[in-house]
């Protein structure tokens, strides 16, 4: 790939003739353990490889993190915030290169790659301000001459397990908050995008070195689900933040709960947009198409379902079919293209199986799907975004398909549409398209959307970092990023100070002796 060698070099990932890339990653010397090779879904070429973490190396990482925590936690939070601020500045410097790597290794469009790095920068800015606002409450005591208050302390080692679809931003959501809270982090990035993980660590390592921050404040480990199992079973990690499928999250949640640890789960979505008779159909089309095909349908917030009122159904359907005919599919680093590839051949197989299931379960294809072939599609990971008419109760519709397949369905009454939207196992993101105040307020009320995110006149994807991100039901209940999500990375402590010469008991209890 043209310019990719320069990108790798800028990010500290020096490619050699054998196709391997090495970088400082706290997991042993290059060549130790088995290699994980990273192939780009853009052109099928080998980008590089990294070492798979061995159990011995994992233990070394945890010990390094434990020692670093002792140094990091007593540093005043605003001083920790200053280090995070400098990381944000370093990301600004390397935004273009890291955005290109995200696009090339994962397959999302270059604009989305840049957007993901911008999310990292934004959360750094947010965390810097947060470092001066880790506040607790002052509480009136029922006992005279007593003062009660609460304060928040660092948890310790935060384990972060992230997915391929956002190979850098989700780590930053977690780690930047955890850092200003006084925690240290051990990150297992996706084995499908290991170079993105390494690039983030390389940039951070320079910032740490310039500030005399111990290396163990941020560690990475690499491998498949077995490495994740080491983390979830490790009592030395009081918090595991895991992003992935609902199936994975149920396993992680059960294991961590079994050792009475904490888990922050960001799992699957099955997101819907309700289109009412009062919708602005132009923005409806734009929002629905980007939500459905952005990142080739591989966002947890991707629009899976469009629930359309009978009176506008045909118009919305025609608009979508027309828009899909104008989509340009190809190299995501070419900014004239709208849609890049799926992450790998397994994702393509799941896409094809889902299309087959639509037909078997009684659905009708409006825009046919399929694997694209020919020049520019040699990787075998490019597919045609498709649209199907379905029933919400179909098994395939109840399932999260991580691919650009959009399901259309009808409704007559808004209460019916809200029920259809909510009647899936997942509860991440939702939206309604309407210019009617009453419709929007009903959708946002306690009897409306049951999702963690509910939008009006925007799509289901593209959340800002200022709000807490996450969902309900099989989405896991976790919250990351903005608002008061920082509390997940700290432990709450209630303190009572008696400044009298007596020791009265709460609830008026008498305990006299002598």
* Catalytic annotation present for 300: yes
How much of the chain, in percent, has pLDDT values that exceed 90? 92
Q: Is 385 helix (H, G, I), strand (E, B) or coil?
A: coil
Q: Is 203 helix (H, G, I), strand (E, B) or coil?
A: helix
Cα–Cα distance list, 242 to 179, 184, 245, 468 (Å) = 17, 16, 9, 16
Return the pLDDT at 124.
Answer: 98
User: How buried is 265 (Cβ within 10 angstroms: 0-12 exposed, 13-18 middle, 19+ buried)?
Assistant: buried
pLDDT(362) > 50: yes
Neighbours of 501 (CB within 10 A): 6
Angle at 51 between CA 45 and CA 56, to 5 degrees: 165
- The pLDDT tens digits of the residues spanning 150-192 come to 999 999 999 999 999 999 999 999 999 999 999 999 999 999 9
Query: In 211-342, where does DSSP find H-type helix?
Result: 225-232, 246-258, 281-293, 313-325
pTM of the model: 0.95
DSSP letter (8 states) at residue 374: S
Closest among 224, 274, 271, 270 to 248, alpha carbons compared: 224
Residues 112-120: what's their mean pLDDT?
Answer: 98
* Catalytic annotation present for 66: no
Residues 314-320: what's their mean pLDDT?
Answer: 98
Cα torsion 334, 162, 348, 453: sign: negative
- The pLDDT tens digits of the residues spanning 81-94 come to 999 999 999 999 99
3-class secondary structure per residue, 231-269: HHCCCCCCEEEEECCHHHHHHHHHHHHHCCCEEEEECCC
Closest among 81, 62, 36, 8 to 187, alpha carbons compared: 62
Share the mean pLDDT of the chain. 94
Closest among 12, 101, 55 to 223, alpha carbons compared: 55
Let me know: does 264 contact 241? Beta carbons within 8 Å: yes
- The pLDDT tens digits of the residues spanning 18-64 come to 333 333 443 334 445 578 999 999 999 999 999 999 999 999 999 99
Residue 508 tokens, joined: 């008026």
Let me know: does 106 contact 114? Beta carbons within 8 Å: no
455 or 21: whose pLDDT is higher? 455
Return the pLDDT at 24.
Answer: 40
Residues 335-353: what's their mean pLDDT?
Answer: 97
Return the pLDDT at 451.
Answer: 98
**What does the alpha-carbon distance between residue 454 and residue 432 come to, in Å, rounded to a whole number?**
8
Catalytic residue among 300, 381, 386, 451: 300
- Ramachandran angles phi, psi of 404, nearest 5°: -80, 70
**What does the alpha-carbon distance between residue 435 and residue 421 come to, in Å, rounded to a whole number?**
19
- The pLDDT tens digits of the residues spanning 261-304 come to 999 999 999 999 999 999 999 999 999 999 999 999 999 999 99
Let me know: does 91 contact 73? Beta carbons within 8 Å: no
Return the pLDDT at 512.
Answer: 81
Let me know: does 183 contact 154? Beta carbons within 8 Å: yes
- The pLDDT tens digits of the residues spanning 395-452 come to 999 999 899 999 999 999 999 999 999 999 999 999 999 999 999 999 999 999 999 9
**What does the alpha-carbon distance between residue 485 and residue 135 come to, in Å, rounded to a whole number?**
13
Radius of gyration of the chain (CA): 25
pLDDT(478) > 60: yes
Return the pLDDT at 1.
Answer: 59
- Beta carbons within 8 Å of 473's beta carbon, 6+ residues apart: 425, 426, 427, 450
Cα–Cα distance list, 244 to 86, 100, 374, 414, 429 (Å) = 29, 23, 32, 32, 15
Catalytic residue among 10, 119, 191, 266: 266
pLDDT(389) > 90: yes
Return the pLDDT at 18.
Answer: 32
């Amino acid at each position: 790939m043209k310019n990719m060698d320069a990108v790798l070099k800028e990010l500290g990932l020096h490619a050699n003739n054998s196709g391997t890339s090495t970088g400082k990653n706290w997991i042993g010397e290059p060549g130790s353990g088995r290699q994980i090779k990273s192939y780009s879904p853009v052109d099928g070429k080998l980008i590089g490889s990294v070492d798979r973490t061995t159990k011995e190396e994992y233990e070394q990482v945890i010990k390094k993190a434990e020692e670093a925590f002792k140094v990091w936690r007593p540093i005043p939070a605003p001083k920790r915030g200053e280090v995070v601020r400098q990381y944000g500045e370093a990301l600004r410097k390397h935004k273009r290169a890291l955005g290109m790597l995200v696009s090339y290794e994962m397959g999302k469009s270059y604009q989305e790659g840049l957007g993901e790095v911008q999310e990292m920068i934004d959360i750094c800015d947010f965390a810097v301000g947060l470092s001066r606002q880790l506040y607790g409450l002052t509480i009136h005591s029922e006992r005279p001459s007593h003062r009660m208050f609460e304060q928040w302390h660092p948890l310790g080692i935060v384990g972060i397990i992230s997915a391929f679809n956002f190979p850098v931003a989700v780590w930053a959501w977690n780690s930047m908050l955890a850092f200003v809270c006084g925690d240290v982090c051990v990150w297992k990035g996706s084995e499908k995008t290991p170079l993105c993980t390494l690039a983030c660590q390389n940039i951070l390592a320079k910032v740490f070195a310039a500030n005399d921050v111990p290396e163990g404040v941020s560690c990475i480990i690499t491998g498949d689900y077995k490495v994740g199992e080491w983390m979830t079973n490790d009592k030395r990690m009081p918090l595991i933040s895991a992003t992935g499928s609902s199936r994975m999250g149920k396993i992680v949640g059960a294991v961590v709960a079994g050792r009475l640890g904490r888990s922050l789960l960001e799992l699957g979505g099955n997101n819907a947009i309700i289109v009412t008779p009062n919708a602005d159909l132009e923005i409806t089309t734009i929002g629905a198409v980007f939500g459905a095909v952005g990142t080739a349908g591989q966002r947890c917030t991707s629009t899976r379902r469009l629930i359309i009122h009978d009176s506008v159904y045909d118009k919305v359907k025609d608009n979508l079919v027309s828009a899909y005919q104008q989509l340009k599919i190809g190299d995501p680093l070419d900014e004239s293209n709208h849609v890049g590839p799926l992450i790998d051949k397994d994702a393509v197989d799941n896409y094809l199986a889902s299309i087959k299931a639509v037909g078997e379960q009684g659905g009708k294809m409006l825009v046919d799907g399929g694997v694209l072939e020919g020049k520019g599609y040699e990787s075998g990971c490019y597919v045609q975004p498709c649209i199907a008419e379905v029933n919400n109760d179909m098994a395939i519709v109840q399932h999260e398909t991580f691919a650009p397949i959009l399901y259309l369905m009808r409704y007559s009454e808004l209460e019916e549409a809200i029920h259809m939207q909510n009647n899936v196992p997942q509860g991440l993101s939702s939206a309604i398209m309407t210019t009617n105040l009453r419709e929007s307020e009903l959708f946002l009320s306690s009897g409306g959307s049951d999702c963690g995110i509910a939008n009006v006149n925007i799509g289901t994807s593209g959340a800002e970092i200022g709000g807490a991100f996450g969902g309900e039901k099989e989405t896991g209940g976790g919250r990351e990023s903005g608002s008061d999500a920082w509390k997940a990375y700290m432990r709450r402590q209630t303190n009572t100070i008696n400044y009298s010469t007596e020791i009265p008991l709460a609830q008026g209890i008498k305990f006299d002796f002598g």
